[in-house]
Amino acid sequence: MKNPILIPAWIDGTLQPVDKLDAHLRGLRHKAVSIFVMNQGRILLQQRAADKYHTPNLWANTCCTHPNWDEDPALCAERRLDEELGISGLKCTHRGQLEYRADVGGGMIEHEVVDAYLAIAPDDLRIAPNPTEVQAIRWVTPTTLTREIAKDPTPFTPWLRIYMAEHANTILGSN
C-alpha cells in the first residue's frame, strides 16, 4: 500500500499532519501553494492529467500543490514546478496568502489557505510536462482567460475560476 501524503491541516484550531485525500474528503482547511508562471504578459496554464484523483482534464494555473508537513511553501513551489512541468531555476515571488473553499467533485472539498507565487519566465523556458500530472500546456493572456471562463467555466478548475475572479490583481499585479 502506498504511504499517505501528509499535508498541514487545521483540526480543532491546531495545525496537524493529515492524509491529503482525507483532508479533501473531510473538507478540512489546509495549506496549499499555487504558482503562476508568466512570459510576455501570458500565463502558462496546465491541463490536469486524466488520471488525477480530482478535477481531471481541467485547465488550471501553472502549478498547484500542498506542502509536505513542515515544508517551506517557497521550496514547495520550486519543487513542484520541477516535478510537474520540468521547470527549474525560476524565481518565485510570494504574492500573498489567500483562502478559498470549493467543491471539486467526487465528494471532495478544497478548503485551502494558499501561498500564491508569481514567476516571470524567459522566452527560452524549458518545459517538460510530467504526463502523470499534466496532459497539455498553453499560454494565454489574463484577458483571454477571463473571457474564456466567463463564456464557459466548465473546462477550468474551481480554484482557477476563483483566482481569476477574486485574486487576479493580487497574484498577477503589474508583473
Query: Residue 103, Cα to own-chain centre: how many angstroms?
Result: 15
Give Cα separations from 169 to 37, 142, 174 (angstroms): 15, 10, 8
The Cα 81–Cα 129 span in angstroms is 9
DSSP 3-state of 160: helix
Which one from 78, 84, 110, 112 is the annotated catalytic residue?
A: 112
Does the annotation mark 112 as catalytic? yes
**Alpha helices in the chain, H assignment, sequence order:** 20-26, 73-85, 142-151, 158-162, 168-172
Which one from 64, 76, 78, 92 is the annotated catalytic residue?
A: 64
DSSP β-ladder status, 14-19 and 29-39: unpaired
Does the annotation mark 110 as catalytic? no
| Residues noted as catalytic | 64, 112
